């Protein structure tokens, strides 16, 4: 069975490539999306790629993923550090969640070090720049089928 993943991106990532390039680099989100789509296709994963600056929209997408995706790859950006609604939504998702951060959040200032959303993640990738998204796709592709069994069953129940 072909796997599917939602790739979700939080606030200000629409400015990727121009916002603080000394931290986040010069690759745009459109370039990240193109790289993700190409790599996911090679790995047999269908992805749906989204970005929103609005917390409620991201919560809606996480809830939608419960019935439409096997995995979530998520860069919550600034919401990583304080969004209880996003954390609560992530906890309802039964499949793997890979949290991605372009910068190494552990080397950042005190406000950017402690991701609360990581507590709901299967794994966290940080500090690899845009390559972190590719590593997340690879992680989803390499996971054994048993990791997805509950999400497949859930999708059947809800559908």
Active site residue 6: no
Encoding tokens for residue 118? 């990581």
Query: Are the CB atoms for 79 and 55 separated by under 8 Å?
Result: yes
Neighbouring residues of 67: CB distance < 8 A, sequence distance ≥ 6:
154, 155, 158, 159
Say how far apart CA 37 and CA 47 lie, in whole Å. Answer: 7
Say how far apart CA 111 and CA 67 lie, in whole Å. Answer: 34
Place of tokens 């809606």: 60
Catalytic residue, chosen from 6, 79, 101, 112, is 101
Catalytic residue, chosen from 24, 79, 112, 133, is 24
Active site residue 50: no
Catalytic residue ranges: 24, 101
């Amino acid at each position: 069975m072909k796997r599917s993943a939602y790739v979700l991106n939080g606030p200000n990532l629409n400015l990727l490539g121009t916002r603080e390039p000394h931290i986040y680099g010069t690759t745009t989100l459109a370039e990240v999306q193109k790289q993700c789509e190409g790599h996911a296709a090679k790995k047999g994963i269908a992805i749906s790629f989204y970005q929103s600056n609005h917390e409620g929209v991201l919560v809606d997408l996480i809830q939608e993923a419960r019935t439409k995706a096997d995995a979530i790859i998520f860069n919550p950006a600034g919401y990583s550090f304080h969004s209880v609604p996003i954390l609560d939504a992530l906890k309802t998702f039964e499949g793997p969640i890979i949290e991605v951060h372009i910068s190494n959040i552990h080397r950042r200032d005190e406000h950017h070090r402690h991701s609360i959303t990581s507590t709901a993640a299967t794994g966290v990738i940080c500090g690899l720049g845009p390559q972190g998204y590719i590593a997340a796709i690879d992680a989803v592709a390499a996971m054994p089928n048993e990791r997805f069994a509950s999400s497949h069953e859930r999708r059947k129940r809800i559908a």
